[in-house]
Amino acid sequence: MAVLSILAVVLFSFVLSIVEIPKMLKQKLYKELVIFCLFLMFGTVLAVLKSLDVKVPIPSDLIAWIYSPLAEVMKSITK
């Protein structure tokens, strides 16, 4: 199952790159290319880690850490 989902995601990224990157190069959209590659790589790596059941840091934890000073106030509001 893990191998299958990794293969699916890698195939998706591969096909997407083949289709999209030449188009962007032709239209000289270099900024788009950088953002595109960054997010595609991020997504693929995340998918592989998720398929291998690696514990990934949760983005919600980061936001929770930023707002942790307000936790006591919020507890009094929602009680």
Partner 1 sequence: MKQIKITNHQLYALTANGSLGGAVMIMASALTAIAKQDAWLSAFLTPVLGLPVIWIYWFLGSQYPGLTFVEITKKILGRWIGTVAAASYVLICFTLAYHLPWYISDFITTQAMPETPSYVISLLFVLAVVIAILYGIETIARVSELYIRFVLVMSVLTLLLVSPNINFENLQPILENGIIPVFKGSYFLACFILFPIITVLMIYPANTDNVSVAKKAIIKGFLVSGFIVFTSILMSVLVLGSKISASLQYPTYLLAKEIRLGIIFTRLEFIIAGTWIITQFMVAVLCFYAGLTGLSQLVGLKDHKRIVLPMGLVILLLSEIVFPDVIYQTSWISLVWLPYATTHGLFLPLLLLIVHQIKSKILKAI
Give the interface with partner 1 as residue ranges (CB under 8 A): 9, 12-13, 16, 20, 24, 29, 31-32, 35-36, 39-40, 42-44, 46-47, 50, 56, 58-60, 63-64, 67, 70-71, 74-75, 77-79
Residues contacting residue 24 through CB under 8 Å, at least 6 positions apart:
30, 32, 33, 36
Could you tell me the smallest distance in angstroms from the CB atom of residue 68 to partner 1?
8
Closest CA to 20 of 10, 6, 7, 33: 33
Query: How many residues make up the chain in this entry?
Result: 79
CB of 76 to partner 1, least distance (A): 9
